[in-house]
Structure 1
Amino acid sequence: MSSFGLAASALVLYEFYTLHRLPPLCQYHPNTGGIQLNCYAVLTSPYSRVGPFPLDALAAAWFITNICLSLIVCLAPLTAARLALRALFAWRFVGIAVVPYLVYVELAVIRAICLYCTVMHAAIVVDFIVISYVLFSKRSRLRAVIMGPR
């Protein structure tokens, strides 16, 4: 799922912040009072940045780090894989902790949804579910191989 999240964040970074146009499938919709699909409202809101950094750039960095840690878990020797698996859980926990705030801002404050932001949020949630299964399920073969039997 991180690949989808990275693709969504990279597309927004390129289209909106480099080419200065809305990404595909995002239309500017005038506000009619309800929550709408309106990437423009989300991407231009004061909540779209942390300091000088667009949230999409931070998301891209999050997904790249996530992919790198996943590769270490799968390809590194057991000692490094164990450490990377724990780091991956902590990293994904940070991601899952931020998603409710971002969804709240979109729905309650901006009253608009960005399609690409939603893809990124979904990718983070699914990634957290996967790492939780790997670490905590007794049926997880990957956990058994890397962490040893419980």
Structure 2
Amino acid sequence: MSTTTARGSSLGTIPWLTLAVSALGVLVSAYLTYEHFTAGTTLACPETGVVNCMKVTSSKYSELFGVPVAVLGLLFFIGMVVLSLPALWRTASPWPARARLAGVVVGVVFVLYLVWAELFRINAICLWCTVVHALTLILFALVVIRVALPPLEG
């Protein structure tokens, strides 16, 4: 199998992977949003020690300008689901690809800020938040790989 063929076949899966990762991100972010507004303790995460979801999700860093970070994550992933729809991957317009790339760049910058806050300000890590962070990084990698590789022929 040639390099071009291997690249072509992997490029065909990237749009579907971004859709799946984005949909999973919607689910986890929706759960975190629900927990934020219900002040729930069902986070299935320890509440003592370094891993402490409650400490993270109720800290001053759990909101940005009065908007819950969980809601921002939910909106981010909903937007990425829309931008990951097959029709928007196939369109000749450059705007969906640009919006996808801009979205994941902003997402990664925000993840870096949140990880910094967890590690150096809150002194605790939220497992559910870490899932969202990982999904954002995976989404970033997929979009950047798709942008870097030549388009599919045919």
- TM-score bucket of the superposed structures, by smaller chain: 0.7 to 0.9
Kept after mapping to 2: 8 A contact 1:11/1:23: no
Determine helix, strand or coil for the equivalent of 2:132. helix
Give the CA deviation at 1:25: 1.6
Match of 2:100 among 65, 78, 88: 88
Contact 1:48 1:55 in 2 (8 A): yes
TM-score, normalised by the number of residues in structure 2: 0.79
Matched with 2:41 is: 22
> Equivalent residue for 2:92?
79
Segments of 4+ in structure 1 off by > 4 A? Answer: none
> More relative contact order in 1 or in 2 (CA 8 Å, sep 6+)?
2
The code of the aligned residue for 1:105 comes to A
Which one of 25, 28, 34 corresponds to residue 8 of structure 1?
Answer: 28
Where does 1:34-45 land on structure 2 (aligned, <5 Å)? Answer: 36-45=50-59
- Aligned equivalents of 1:130, 1:97: Cα separation in 2: 16
Tell me how far 1:96 sits from its aligned partner: 1.0
Q: Which amino acid is the alignment partner of residue 8 of structure 1? A: V
Query: What aligned pairs does 1:1-150 form with structure 2 within 5 A after superposition?
Result: 1-18=21-38, 20-29=39-48, 31=49, 36-71=50-85, 74-76=86-88, 78-80=91-93, 82-138=94-150, 143-144=151-152
Number of aligned residue pairs:
133
RMSD over aligned Cα atoms:
1.8
- Offset, 1:4: 2.0
- What letter corresponds to residue 39 of structure 1 in structure 2? C
Would you say the 8 A contact 2:45–2:52 is kept in 1? yes
Once the two structures are superposed, what CA deviation does each residue of 1:91-118 show, in whole Å capped at 9, x if it has no partner?
A: 1111111111111110111110111110
Structure 1: which 5+ runs fail to align? none
Q: What is the deviation of 1:15?
A: 2.8
Q: Name the TM-score, length of structure 1 as normaliser.
A: 0.80
Query: Aligned letter for 1:84?
Result: P
Segments of structure 2 that go 5 or more residues without pairing to the other structure are 1-20
Secondary structure in 2 aligned to 1:112?
A: coil
